[in-house]
Amino acid sequence: MAKSLRSKWRRKMRAIKRERYAVKELAKLKKMLGIDDTTTDAEMKENVIEFTLDSADKKAEEPSTPQEMIEVPDLEVDKKLETKSLLNMKNKHGTYPVWLSQRKVRALARSRKNKKTIKHKKSMKQKNKKIGKKK
């Protein structure tokens, strides 16, 4: 679907409003916390300690084994934990997968309901036959 000029204009104006309101909101939050820009900046600058590491130090501290290799088995374990019944597409908690459309969910529920009613009707026929009643 194409983007209309009106929606582009609205998006642009909302972005401008966000910037304007962000400044006001920050001022309100600082006022609520009792933070004054003039006094606290001077105090905070005195207490700041700067730590800098050279790039050579950073490289020496990094482990030689890449982190990605460690994370891959964890992902495979999570996939194995997710089991769902192929008959009704539900997992162990009774929820449907995210990718399943609502239309398909309703169709599955309808088919389950129909199976139950058919099963119930068959059992009632058998009971009636035993008793000797006709339907």
pLDDT digits (tens, 9 = 90+) for 87-105: 778 888 888 888 989 999 9
Residue 15 confidence (pLDDT): 96
The whole model's pTM is what?
0.30
Q: Which parts of the chain sit beneath pLDDT 70?
A: 1, 37-86, 133-135
Residue 84 confidence (pLDDT): 65
Which residue matches tokens 């769902």? 84
Residue 34 confidence (pLDDT): 87
Q: How far is CA 115 from CA 27, 89, 93, 124, in A?
A: 63, 16, 22, 14
